[in-house]
Amino acid sequence: MIPKQELGVLSIKNENQIYMDKPIPEVPNWRVLMNLPVIFKNPLVFHSALYKDLGDSFIVNSLNGEDLILTRSSRMIQHVLQKNHKNYQKSKFQTVDLAKYVGYGLLTTNGEHWLIHRRMIQPGFGRKKLQGLLTIIRGAVESEVERIDVEKTVDVLPLMSDLAFQTVAKGLFSAGDIRARMASLQKITDTAQKMLIKEVRQPYLRWWFRLSGSLQRHINMGDKARYIVNELVAERKSSGTQEDDLLDMLLAARYEDGEPMSNRQLIDEVMILFTAGHETTANALSFTLFHIAKDQAIQQRIFDEVCRFDFGDENLPNVFKDLTFTRQCIEEAMRLYPPAYLVDRVAISDDEVDGQKIPSGTMVLLSLFELHRDTQFWKDSSVFDPNRFSPDQKSKRIGRYFPFGAGPRMCVGNHFAMFEMIIAIATIVKSFTMKCDLDQIELVPLVSLKPKEVPIKFEKRY
C-alpha cells in the first residue's frame, strides 16, 4: 500500500509489529579506512551512503577499537532518549573531551550531578520565567540587526554568531557594555571547538596534539575564558544589584540543604550556556535566512505576518502564537539542519530494541539529521516546506522530529532559543529584503551542524 501523503508528512502504519532477533549489520573496517578523508571533512556524507546500503541501523568499528551503533530508527531513538533513558548516559566525548574546555555543567555531566543541577536550573528557563527577559532579548537582537551592512552581499553566519552570542550575554548579564569581553570569549569557544573535533576525528594524532603543546594551549585558552566569566560574576556580586536575568537565577539557585552553587560550578554552568546557547542558535538562524532569501513568496508571507504584530513589551509573550508562519520556517530549517545532528549515548546495561541487541558499554549515535530527512516519513524530504509545521500537522510529527533532543535531557534553553530566533527573523525580514544566489549550502558538521557560508544581499525596506 502506498503511504498517504499529506503536506509533506507521510503516514506510517504497522509500527507495533512483533520483532524477532534481528542482527545489526556491520560496516567492514576497510570501508572505514578508505573513507577517512571523507569522515574527517564531513562524516554525514559517509553516514548517508551507509544508511542507503545497510538500512536504519548499523555497527561501525571506531579507530579506538570500540563498536559504535549508528541509527536513524525512530523507534530506537525514542527508546534511548525517552522510553528507557535511565539505561543510557552521555559518552566521554562530552563528559571528558568537551568538559576539559567548558567545565562540568548540564551539557557535560551524568547521573546525580546532572540531575541535581538540572532541577536547580530548569525553573529559570520556563516560559513564564523568561517573560521577564523578553525585552532584554528583543533589545539585544535589534542592536545586532542594526549592524547589518546593506547593498552588498555578506556572509550571515558571522552576523548571526555575533547576534546569538550577544543575546545570550545580555540574557545572562543584562546591562553593561560587555561587547569586548564577549568577543574574546566567543573567539575562545570557537577555537576550542575546532580543537575538540580534531581530537575526536583524528584520535591517532592525539599523541602529537599533546607532544606539540597544541592541546595544552587550547586548555589554557579555556582557562582564560573562565577568568572572563569569573570577572563578570564577581562584578555582579560586588554590585549588590539585582537584574532579574539568568545570572541572578543561577546565583539564587539552591541545593536541598539551602546552599548555593560553588563559584566554580556557577562558572561551569555559565560557560555551558554560552557554548551550547549561541552556536546552535546562530547556525539555525543562518540556515533559516538562506531559505527565506531564496524564496521571495515565503519572505513576503513572513513580512505580512510581522507587519500585523505589535512588538510592544506587553505583547512580546504572544510571539509564539501570533508569528506562527515565522516559527514554522525556523522549525523546518531545524528539520533539515538539526543543530545537534548526532546525539551520543552509552548503554549502561544490555538492552534490546525491536530484536536488535545493544550490549552494555556500547555507544549509540542517534542521527537526527537522517531521521529528519527519512523519506519513509517526510515527503520530498530535502525540500524546504514550512507547511509541514502548520498546527494541524503536529500529531503526525511525533517521534520523527527532535530539534532540541528529547526526554529528560532535552535542551533546557529551548524556549529561550525559539523566542530569540522568532524575534531575530521577524526583525530582519521587517527591516530588509534579502536575496541569495547560492544554490546549495555546504555543511560543516562540528560539535553542532553549521553552514560553511551563507552569502546574502540585504536591501533596506523603506
Q: Summarize pLDDT for 10-31 with one digit per residue, the tens.
A: 544 444 455 556 789 999 888 9
Lowest mean pLDDT among 241-250, 309-318, 405-414: 241-250
Cα distance between residue 380 and residue 25, in whole Å? 27
pLDDT number for residue 283:
95
Query: For residues 253 and 260, is the Cβ–Cβ distance under 8 A?
Result: yes
Tell me the C-alpha distance between 323 and 429, whole Å: 12
pLDDT of residue 58: 96
pLDDT at residue 11, as a whole number:
45
> Can you give the pLDDT at residue 278?
83
Which is more confident, 205 or 240?
A: 205
Q: Is the pLDDT of residue 397 over 70?
A: yes
Instruction: State how far the Cα of 424 lies from the Cα of 262, in Å rounded to an integer.
Output: 35
What is the structure's pLDDT at 293? 97
pLDDT-derived band at 8, boundaries 50, 70, 90: low
Is there a contact between 217 and 101 (Cβ–Cβ < 8 Å)?
no
Statement: residue 371 has pLDDT above 90: yes
pLDDT tens for residues 50-66? 999 999 999 998 766 77
Pick the CATH number of 1-10+36-89+343-384 from 3.40.50.2300, 3.30.565.10, 3.30.43.20, 3.20.20.370: 3.30.43.20
Provide the mean pLDDT of the chain: 88
Residue written as cell 562558572?
267
Confidence of residue 304 (pLDDT cuts 50, 70, 90): very high
Q: What is the pLDDT of residue 186?
A: 78
Residue 9, pLDDT score: 55
Whole-model pTM: value is 0.89
What was the pLDDT predicted at 241?
Answer: 78
pLDDT of 174 reads 74
Residue 328, number of CB atoms within 10 A of its CB? 21
The alpha carbon of residue 4 and the mean position of all alpha carbons in its chain are separated, in whole angstroms, by 31
How far CA 18 is from CA of 56, 136, 246, 275, in Å, comes to 17, 52, 48, 43
pLDDT at 258 over 60: yes
Judge whether residue 362 has pLDDT over 90.
Answer: yes
- Which secondary structure element, helix H or strand E, spans residue 153, and what is its range? strand 153-155
Tens digits of residue pLDDT in 417-444: 999 999 999 999 999 999 999 999 999 9
Q: Name the band, by pLDDT with cuts 50, 70 and 90, for residue 3.
A: very low
Instruction: Give the pLDDT of residue 352.
Output: 94
Structure confidence at residue 184 (pLDDT):
81
pLDDT at 182: 75
Residue 255 has pLDDT above 70, yes or no: yes
